[in-house]
Amino acid sequence: MIVVLAILALGMGIEVLGKAFISHPGPPEEFHRYSLPFSFPSSGFSTGNSFPSGHSFRSVFLTVIALSYAGKNKKMMMAWITFAAVMLISRVSLGEHWTSDVVGGATLGLILGSFSRGIKDHAVAD
* Alpha carbon separation from 51 to 1, 54, 97, 100, 121 (Å, rounded): 28, 8, 8, 8, 31
SS3 content of the chain, % helix, strand, coil (to 5): 70, 0, 30
pLDDT score recorded for residue 50: 80
pLDDT score recorded for residue 98: 87
Report pTM.
0.79
Amino acid found at 104: G
Residue 25 backbone dihedrals phi, psi, to 5 degrees: -60, 145
In tens digits, the chain (126 residues) has pLDDT values of: 788 889 999 999 998 888 888 888 877 776 666 666 666 555 455 667 788 888 999 999 999 999 988 888 899 999 999 999 999 999 888 888 889 999 999 999 999 999 988 776 655 554
